[in-house]
Chains A and B, each alone.
Chain A
Amino acid sequence: MKRKMSIAKRHNLTGWTFIVPAALLIVAMSFVPMVQAMILSFQSGKGTALSFVGLSNYVRMFKDGVFIQSIKNTFFYLILQVPIMLVTALILASVLNKKDLKFKGFFRTAIFLPCATSLVSYAIIFRSLFAVDGFVNTVLIKLGILNTGYNFLGNPTSAKVIIIIALLWRWTGYNMVFYLSGLQNIEYSVYEAAMIDGATAFQRFWSITIPLLKPMILLTAIMSTNGTLQLFDESMNLTSGGPANATITMSHYIYNVSFKYVPNFGYAAAMSFLILVLVALLALVQMKVGDKRD
């Protein structure tokens, strides 16, 4: 009789039925498309008329000036923005974690507020603030610093800097929340003991906060790296990738190749596969570095 099945076995089966819907969806929506992208990356053609071309998409990738530019841009954002953001978030979190601080809730809410803004919204807000006739230029002209509006988004360097400023604005508070929740697990008495022993604020930060927050720092570093490598909304809506592709990101270029120009899914898939490899590699490096400091 099936009814006689042992309780343990029945529970085991129940467990699997709970898991199956989520697991199947992840297989169908992440792993299957990933494999398809790999297969697609060896094909070429316009639209749906595809034929196998071996590695030629990958060869083309490294001769494609715009794609190389998009890799350079993405890494420029990554190298500058992620460290500045994580350090600022750490400092903000450790200041906000002080026991005797007043208006703690107000500061926390204010600094977290940007994270409640949609990516497209903030990209458009920053685009408007820094437009030639935008608020920042108006103020600079009124203060007599500039005579006419400066085209922040029309100059390759300043446009990149504006994207970084916007990213810092949007994500610093988000990472701060993770650090704050990590700090709550550290007993405050540890700090008090260190203070009695005469440790300076910097020493306490360096020898207590950083080591104890290491798992959280690793998590946020991986999340931000992953996010930065996939940047799209900002490049699309803040600068439209311009001027002359000076700010275009990898995802933005892949989108253009797939949906804006004559669609070349094979070539786009090859580029997207490179992002996958980069994400995996960087996460691996970060985990290795994170382990070593033990």
Chain B
Amino acid sequence: MTKLRNSFQYIFLIIASAVSVFPLFWMLIAATNKSADVLRGTLVPGGYLMENLKTLMAAQPVVSSMLNSFKYAVVLTIISLVICSLAGYGFEIYHDKGKDFVMSIILLAMMVPFAATMIPLFRMFSNASLLNTTLGFILPSISTPFLIMMFRQSARSFPHDIIEAARIDGLNEIGIFFKMFIPTMRSTYAAAMVITFMNAWNNYLWPKVIMSDDSSMTMPMLIANLTAGYTTDYGSLMLGVLLCTIPTIIVFFVLQKSFAEGITGSVK
């Protein structure tokens, strides 16, 4: 009976894993094959990768979009991590009634859907000539209640003795944050980095609203453009999708372990 249940568990997990991996596997196969072979349903890697790359680069500004996406995501991740962790740390270490109240107001912002702020933000940014700029891309997503909460939660486990000792050694408050807190909280920063980078890279609606120039286009916008025509060249389309997927998968794999630790620490 136990044996039967055990093998049932494995079958369940194998099916779940296969379903999870298959679409990505198919994307990889399609990116290396001729469109005609993709349509024939092939599941073996082909030798058409370079041809697909040529077709893709001729159709869309792949290099500049890739660079844009990197630029936006990296700048946003760095600034967002500094601002949100500073706030989370401030809320926890120096907490009092006033700050707890401000925190609860900030948490309310989690409820505000992006659709509700998108139009006023667009008008605000177009008046401030922030359309097609990096600043325009990052401003709405720098400070997020989720990250602030995550860092506040992790600051809870930061020993007060360290702070006192550092103060006696003559380190000022900002010094304690940069030299003591950041190095100790590596796994929280790793998790925050994965989440912020992925959200920034994957963001589609906001750049679609404010990035009207081809030269400021992002990768998700680029691959969405590829499907606009009447006939689809599956090979180059899937290569585009692959290029748009690789960076987030790399970030995820590199930081996977600390990501899991960081999530566990932050939602306890």
Q: How many interface residues does chain A have, given as a range?
A: 35 or more
Q: Is A107 an interface residue (CB 8 A)?
A: yes
Are B232 and A128 in touch, CB under 8 angstroms? Answer: yes
Stretch among B50-58, B60-68, B182-190, B245-253 lining the A interface: B245-253
Task: Contact check, B111 vs A279: say whether CB atoms are below 8 A apart.
Answer: yes
A residues near B112, Cβ cutoff 8 Å: 30-31, 34, 276
Contacts of B221 in A (CB 8 A): 120
CA of A127 to CA of B205, assembled, Å: 19
Q: Do A124 and B237 touch across chains, with their CB atoms under 8 A apart?
A: yes
Cα–Cα distance between A124 and B222 once the two chains are bound (Å):
12
Q: Are B204 and A233 in contact (CB under 8 A)?
A: yes
Query: Are A25 and B83 touching (Cβ within 8 A)?
Result: yes
Asked whether any CB of chain A lies closer than 8 Å to the CB of B139, the reply is yes
Q: Is the CB of A233 within 8 A of B19?
A: no
A110/B20 contact (C-beta < 8 A), A19-B90, A121-B220, A275-B113 known: yes
- Chain A stretch 25-60: residues in CB contact (< 8 A) with chain B: 25-26, 29-34, 36-37, 40
* Residue in A closest to B29 when the chains form the complex, CB atoms: A135
Q: Is A212 an interface residue (CB 8 A)?
A: no
Decide yes or no whether A67 CB sits under 8 A from chain B. no
| A14 in the interface (beta carbon within 8 A) | yes
Alpha-carbon separation in the docked complex, A248 to B262 (Å): 36
A127 touches B120 (CB 8 A): no
**A26 in contact with B204 given A110-B17, A139-B41 (CB within 8 Å):** no
Tell me the interface secondary structure of chain A in the complex.
helix
The chain B residues found within 8 Å of chain A, CB to CB, are: 5, 9, 12-13, 16-17, 19-21, 23-24, 26-27, 30, 38-41, 83-84, 86-87, 89-91, 93-96, 99, 102, 106, 109-124, 139-140, 142-143, 145, 148, 173-174, 177, 198, 201-202, 204-205, 208-209, 219-221, 223-224, 226-227, 232, 234, 237-238, 241, 244-245, 248-249, 251-252, 256, 260, 263-264, 267-268
Residue ranges of A at the interface with B (Cβ–Cβ < 8 Å): 11-12, 14-19, 21-23, 25-26, 29-34, 36-37, 40, 92, 95-96, 98, 101, 106-107, 109-122, 124-129, 131, 133, 135, 138-139, 142, 169, 173, 177-178, 181-182, 184-185, 201, 216, 219, 226, 229-230, 232-233, 236-237, 250-251, 254-255, 258-259, 265, 268-269, 272-273, 275-276, 279-280, 283
